[in-house]
Amino acid sequence: MANEDRPQINLITPPAFDLETFPDTLAAVMDAVEIACLRITLATRDEIELIRSADALREVAHARDVAVVIDSHLLLVERLGLDGVHLTDGSKSVRKVRKELGADAIIGAFCGVTRHEGMSAGEAGADYVAFGPVGASTLGDGKQAEFELFEWWSQVIEVPVVAEGALTRELVEKFGPVTDHFAFGAEIWGAEDPAKALKDLIAPLG
C-alpha cells in the first residue's frame, strides 16, 4: 500500500485528442498507476465535442473510482455527472461556484505562482489549490512556482496543494515532500508509452 504521505497523482488531458484512441490510452495509464483525479482540459468551444469527449473520459475514470473535474465549464458538471470543476482564474469565482455546485462538488483553483491568491481561494472554499509551472516553461510570463511557496504552504495551510507544469523526474523528487498532488499532462501524452513515461517521472516517490 502506498505511503499516505506520498503525493497523489492527477492527470490533465491534452487540449485536443482523438476520441477513437485516447480513452484507451487513458485507461492504460490509469491501470498502470493509481490516479486520484482526472482534469479535462479541452481547448474546443464546441459544446457537442466537449460533451462527447467528457462523457467518454468520465466512463473510463469512474470505472476506476477516479474523480473527474473539468476546466471552467461549470454548467457541464452536473449535466455530465462529473465530480467538480477546475477554475483557472485563481480565487475570483470560487465562492460563487461553491454556492452553485453545492458542498459535495470538487472545486479546484489554479493560482499561478501567487501565495495570496492561493490563500484567498482556500478561504473561499476551494478543495485544492494548484500552483505552477513548477518547471521552466515559456508559457505565461515565464515565472515559476518556487519550492519555498510549496514548503511554506505544506507547513501552514491545510488545503491540499497541487504542483503542475513542466515537471521532471528531478522536480518530482525535490517537491515530493512539500506537495499533496502532482498533476501530469503534456509531460506524458507525447511519449510512445504514456504509462511508462508517468512511471519513470514518479519513480523517486517510491
Q: What is the mean pLDDT of residues 110-119?
A: 96
Banded model confidence at residue 2, pLDDT cuts 50, 70, 90: very low
- Reduce the DSSP state of residue 38 to 3 states and report it: strand
The owner of cell 519513470 is 200
Which pTM was predicted?
Answer: 0.96
Asked whether residue 3 is domain-assigned, the answer is no
Asked whether residue 1 is domain-assigned, the answer is no
**Tens-digit pLDDT profile for residues 32-76:** 999 999 999 999 999 999 999 999 999 999 999 999 999 999 999
Q: Is 198 exposed, middle or buried (0-12, 13-18, 19+ CB in 10 A)?
A: buried
Q: Which amino acid is at 94?
A: V
Report the largest interatomic distance among the alpha carbons of the chain, rounded to a whole angstrom.
45
Q: Which domain holds residue 127?
A: 8-201
Task: Provide the number of structural domains found in the chain.
Answer: 1
Asked whether residue 36 is domain-assigned, the answer is yes
Asked whether residue 197 is domain-assigned, the answer is yes
b/e map 112-126, b = 16+ CB within 10 Å: bbbbebbbbbbebbb
CATH code, domain with 161: 3.20.20.70
Non-local (6+) Cβ contacts of 107 within 8 A are: 84, 85, 87, 94, 97, 98, 101, 125, 126, 127
Angle value at C-alpha 13, between 10 and 14, nearest 5 degrees: 140
